[in-house]
Structures are given as C-alpha cells and as structure tokens.
C-alpha cells in the first residue's frame, strides 16, 4: 500500500479531502491511502520517512520550501496541491487522485 500525507494548517479541511480521495482509490481497487496532518506533524512525518508522497495544501503553500528540504533529504516526492483540486467534490477529488497517481508513478 502506498501512503500519502497532505500537510495542512491544522489538518481539519485536509482530513475531509483525504477521506474523499482515499474512498475514491478504494472504490477503484487501488492500494493508496491518504492521510492529513498539520505542518509541524508533517515535518516530523517527513523526517521519520513515514509516507511515499507528501502534498502541501493551498493554505500552507508558504511552508512548501521548508518542507521540500526535508522531503528532498529523504528522497521523497513533495508537491503543492492546486486550489482547484482541494475541494471535496467528485470532479476535484478525481483531479487530486490524478495528481497523486502521477507523482507516485514517477518514482
């Protein structure tokens, strides 16, 4: 199973997005689980090498460079989530799923 972490300000809005995209992957029979956490916990998760991919939410994009340094040290991909893919509606959830799969495939 591939594990993805969305890094968000507090992890609340991203938790909803993570649940929606995980459900989409499960329905499609894909072994990808998406979780969410705060910036502080996200940095620790990167340092502990807990996930296969890290995504930074639109509202925390100012932390991207800082988090990318840690991800690069661990040789893990990290990407910004575009605002249009950060809405828990079917079309936007699919957009986020496509982004995740694209980054996981390029590993």
pLDDT digits (tens, 9 = 90+) for 77-103: 999 999 999 998 999 999 999 999 999
User: What Å distances lie between residue 61 and 25, 32, 93, CA to CA?
Assistant: 25, 23, 19
pTM for the structure as a whole: 0.95
**What stretches in the chain show pLDDT beneath 70?**
11
- Reduce the DSSP state of residue 12 to 3 states and report it: helix
Per-residue confidence (pLDDT) for residue 11, from 0 to 100: 67
Strand order from edge to edge, sheet including 2-8: 32-38, 2-8, 53-56, 78-80
Pairing of strands 53-56, 32-38: unpaired
> Integer distance in angstroms from the first to the last C-alpha of the chain?
15
């Amino acid at each position: 199973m591939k594990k993805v972490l969305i890094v968000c300000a507090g992890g609340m809005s991203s938790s909803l997005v993570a649940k929606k995209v995980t459900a989409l992957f499960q329905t499609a029979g894909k072994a990808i689980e998406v979780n969410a956490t705060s910036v502080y916990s996200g940095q620790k998760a990167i340092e502990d090498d807990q996930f296969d991919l890290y995504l930074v939410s639109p509202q925390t994009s100012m932390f991207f460079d800082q988090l990318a340094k840690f991800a690069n040290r661990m040789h893990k991909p990290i990407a910004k989530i575009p605002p249009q893919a950060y809405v828990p509606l079917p079309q936007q959830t699919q957009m986020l799923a496509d982004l995740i799969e694209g980054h996981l495939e390029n590993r």
